[in-house]
Chains A and B, each alone.
Chain A
């Protein structure tokens, strides 16, 4: 069954076309990756799917529901791990989760129960009372993941889940994402790390300047275009992904 269906999807900001007429289907229980450099339109697609803003034109259905008509119904069934850690800096780890659960109408008792389970899962159980500002980058990321799982979402959106993390933290987050995969959740992931895409995604789509260059499983793409996923990307977009990830490498964060 298709969880997300997009046809001729367009999003314009003023006169700039961030998403330029794309089509894709995302099936239940798969991990679907959007690959591309910054500015390719990946985050815009994520924001359209979780109903942050309406599309300019085209069709976009999530769980079979039109994003323009049923944003709250759709959002209730989605978990979002945004690119930026938008945690509440004044609140503790547990308070962050309780406050967030309330937006979904989850009662406090149930919220605490779920939060404890999730903090255990992301390895932050001993940090319940810690102020989030005292957490390391990797811990904040894991807390954002726990927060995205509070409503037990059918669809989990991970917008660059490991950007800016050190290799160890990155591996920890990957393990947690894989664990969610085995629970039968549908995952959508954006990344500019080939390794991440290859490790986690059953299918990837390569985006460039708001358009889709190719879609398929990493193996299919590599067979069709030859070489590594990195080479496929270079052939399709004329760009090297290293340029996009250069920032991360310069910061000594390992990268590829």
Chain B
């Protein structure tokens, strides 16, 4: 059982803190996507004019929306959640009120998805203004930025519930997030890769998200539906785990 009002009170706690601190963190969060666009989009464009008839910088721009929003949710629900749970004892304070553990975890996941939404939306605006988007239909990817945010928040809370200490997130990022990022089709189409990599990409949530944003960005329709279904099914498939694992970790 989740009490929505109480979950929102947890969401509002995180939002209140974010409102105070965003000025210092916001800029930094855009340095990375900007660097990718500049380094690869402009740097590599000198050698690689286009992919599938699309100028290279335009090819990667939608992928940066997908990856930056996913990483925003992931940072929030790994390091952020862990600090609130373990170091600040914020969870202990919250659990002494009528808010229950399920409400708390729901609030954390909703907040992670909100971070994804914030960053995704802003990067969409930036690449649109930079002329890297062909169609207004890119706006249709905004709800999916949120759904992908839920999925990555779920994965992250699961990780936060399992790690023995905060340093263990290094393994998560190096062995899980970085491969997802590199083999998601952001920088090169996966068509040319061996079959096994293509098969593995089916299990990569970021790959599906990249395809969704890229399709909406180009204005074409057609292939997105299967990717959309994949994302939603994955969200539902995992939904119980963050709650159960956190219960096991926090309430002994």
Alpha-carbon separation in the docked complex, A75 to B98 (Å) = 5
B94 interface residue per 8 A CB criterion = yes
- Chain A residues within 8 Å of chain B by Cβ, number: 30
CB-CB contacts below 8 Å: A53-107 with B: 53-54, 71-73, 75-76, 78, 80, 82, 84, 86-91, 95, 98-100, 102-105
Q: What residues on B are CB-neighbors of A102 within 8 Å? A: 9, 12-13
State the CA gap A233–B88 with chains docked (Å).
Answer: 34
Task: Determine how close the nearest CB of chain B comes to the CB of A57; give it in whole angstroms.
Answer: 15
Contact of B20 among A54, A75, A90, A103 (CB under 8 A): A90
The answer to whether B9 and A103 have CB atoms under 8 Å apart is yes
Question: Chain B nearest CB: distance from A109 CB in Å?
Answer: 15
Q: Could you give 20 example pairs across A and B, Cβ below 8 Å? A: A52-B92, A72-B3, A72-B100, A75-B96, A75-B97, A76-B98, A80-B96, A82-B92, A82-B93, A82-B96, A86-B88, A86-B92, A88-B13, A89-B88, A90-B17, A90-B20, A98-B16, A99-B16, A102-B12, A103-B99
What CA separation (Å) do A99 and B88 show in the bound complex? 15
A to B contact number (C-beta, < 8 Å): 74
A114 at the interface (CB under 8 A from B): no
Are A53 and B98 within 8 A (Cβ)? no
In the assembled complex, how far is the CB of residue B129 from the closest CB belonging to chain A, in whole angstroms?
32
CA distance A103 to B14 in the complex (A): 12
Question: How close is A96's CB to chain B, nearest CB, in angstroms?
Answer: 9
Q: B90 within 8 Å of A by Cβ?
A: yes
**B6 touches A (CB below 8 Å):** yes
Would you call A100 and B97 a contact (CB within 8 A)? yes
B28 within 8 A of A: no
Chain A residues contacting B3 (CB-CB under 8 Å) are 72
Q: Is A50 part of the binding interface, using a Cβ–Cβ cutoff of 8 Å?
A: yes
Closest to B94 in A: A103
Closest to A50 in B: B96
Chain A, 172-229, CB within 8 A of any chain B CB = none
Known: A86-B93, A91-B16. 17 other contacts (CB 8 A): A52-B92, A54-B251, A72-B3, A72-B6, A72-B100, A82-B89, A82-B93, A86-B90, A87-B93, A88-B17, A89-B88, A90-B21, A91-B20, A103-B9, A103-B13, A103-B97, A103-B99
By the criterion CB–CB under 8 Å, are B96 and A53 in contact? no
The residue of chain B having its C-beta at the shortest distance from the C-beta of A74 within the complex is: B98
- Residues of B197-227 at the interface with A, using a CB-CB cut-off of 8 Å, are none
> In residues 172-192 of chain B, which contact A (Cβ within 8 Å)?
none
Q: Which of A99-149 contact B (CB under 8 A)?
A: 99-100, 102-105
**Most chain A CB atoms below 10 A, which of B9, B16, B97:** B97
Give CA–CA (A153, B3) in the complex, Å: 21
